Structure 1
């Protein structure tokens, strides 16, 4: 297990949950730490067991931000307790960047070409998801906590959101990349989820070696995202200001709430 994986209390193991973990505990450049028990990241919540529901209750969870597309939520609705009082936020939208299915079916497709397409997708994914990220960051600034945000694998849309948040809080890039790469601890489970998805048949005729790069948490993907934002905005924080519309007060409040 990676150094991040050994961090006590970060990963929350569940029966039917996937890639659920606390983003807190990381040190920042100015000597603070990201508070634990306030913001969590996750993959799909469509197969949660009753025991998993009890875990969420014990966390005191108040808000769930579902970053999945409209069709993803329709195919695999989250399994949550009927009596749960969570605020659940989602946005009706359809994915474009990151949909590599057609490319993987090409006769000349290789693991390297799929990896290159993933890197390219990461250059635009933060912009595609900007409306969702704005709502997520505003809820972290202004809404009740604890909160969890998630997508399907908890890697791409969720991984970028976590990276932007940790960067805003002053966590070193090396640690941000390590947190992102921790998703690879759940690689086998992620592949199972893809195979069992109602549209998973699209991958049945594709050599797993070709679509494996799509499932990996390759730090090069996240690095491409940061470079794209910095070329256009100067810094990742400037992207948050320019594209998500957060102001000084919002950013200061996020830091006040999440840094100890």
Structure 2
């Protein structure tokens, strides 16, 4: 996946180009990222030039007030906030099982329903983010890739790349954001492997999960078609 170096983001990348059994995911249809707090005008121009005018922000709580999105009050963009409390920095610090936290996260079925319905109902691409871009965003991307039948090894490699990306960019960000949290959650293979096993045991597939949260077969097919650019 192509890294995108927005101003002071740690973990932004385009999921386009990933191979599926039915072709490659279209570029610039989904960008995953950490918080979009300090986007420059050039960053915004990049998004607009690529018809990415919708942000789906999964952050929750006070952080939305003291670290608001750069796109929140920009009339050129549409901003959605679907807060996932599970997966926040606080819950990660207090929970000793990341895979268990992910399992609790997906019980917020209304959030996942709204995320996927929004994805298919807006024109153009979307940028999906949380605070670090690896847990809440990571599970949404896991679902998108799994839905398309992407090999789990590829999904796993994308997941763990968040850890590398954050570590590479962290010194640059800390030069500007002095109070950036010292806690930096890890994205270890075992976290997603364990979650995936439990998820499949309970729901059998992402398609079944999405049906369970309230999407229709046609909406699920729309997700697939949009991701593949059909």
Deviation at 1:87, TM superposition (A): 1.1
Equivalent pair of 1:39/1:145 in contact (CA under 8 Å): no
Q: Are 1:156 and 2:147 matched, yes or no?
A: no
SS in 2 for 1:144: coil
| Alignment match, 1:106 | none
Q: Please, what TM-score do these two structures have when normalized by structure 2?
A: 0.85
Aligned pair count? 224
Give the one of 235, 250, 256 matched to 2:205.
Answer: 235
| Alignment match, 1:175 | 154
| Alignment match, 2:59 | 68
Question: For residues 141 and 190 of structure 1, do their structure 2 counterparts lie closer, same or farther at Cα, with a shift above 3 Å needed?
Answer: same
| Alignment match, 2:12 | 20
Post-superposition Cα deviations, 1:34-72, rounded to whole Å, max 9, x if no partner, equal 111111111010122233222222222121000000322
Unaligned runs of 5+ in 2: none
Structure 1's consecutive aligned runs of 4 or more residues displaced over 6 angstroms after TM superposition are: none
Give the one of 117, 124, 139 matched to 1:138.
Answer: 117
Deviation at 1:131, TM superposition (A): 2.2
Deviation at 1:102, TM superposition (A): 4.4
State the alpha-carbon separation in 2 of the partners of residues 33 and 93 from structure 1: 29
SS in 1 for 2:20: coil
Equivalent pair of 2:57/2:130 in contact (CA under 8 Å): yes
| Alignment match, 2:104 | 124
Q: Please, what TM-score do these two structures have when normalized by structure 1?
A: 0.76
Q: Give the structure with the higher percent helix.
A: 1
| Alignment match, 1:249 | 218
Question: For residues 190 and 236 of structure 1, do their structure 2 counterparts lie closer, same or farther at Cα, with a shift above 3 Å needed?
Answer: farther
Unaligned runs of 5+ in 1: 5-9, 104-113, 204-210
Question: For residues 17 and 172 of structure 1, do their structure 2 counterparts lie closer, same or farther at Cα, with a shift above 3 Å needed?
Answer: same
Deviation at 1:226, TM superposition (A): 1.7
Post-superposition Cα deviations, 1:121-145, rounded to whole Å, max 9, x if no partner, equal 22322223x3222111112222212
Equivalent pair of 1:141/1:251 in contact (CA under 8 Å): no
Post-superposition Cα deviations, 1:151-172, rounded to whole Å, max 9, x if no partner, equal 0000000000001011111211
The two structures, once aligned, show a CA RMSD in angstroms of 2.5
Equivalent pair of 1:53/1:81 in contact (CA under 8 Å): no
SS in 2 for 1:127: coil
| Higher gyration radius (CA) | 1
| Alignment match, 2:194 | 224
Equivalent pair of 1:97/1:125 in contact (CA under 8 Å): no
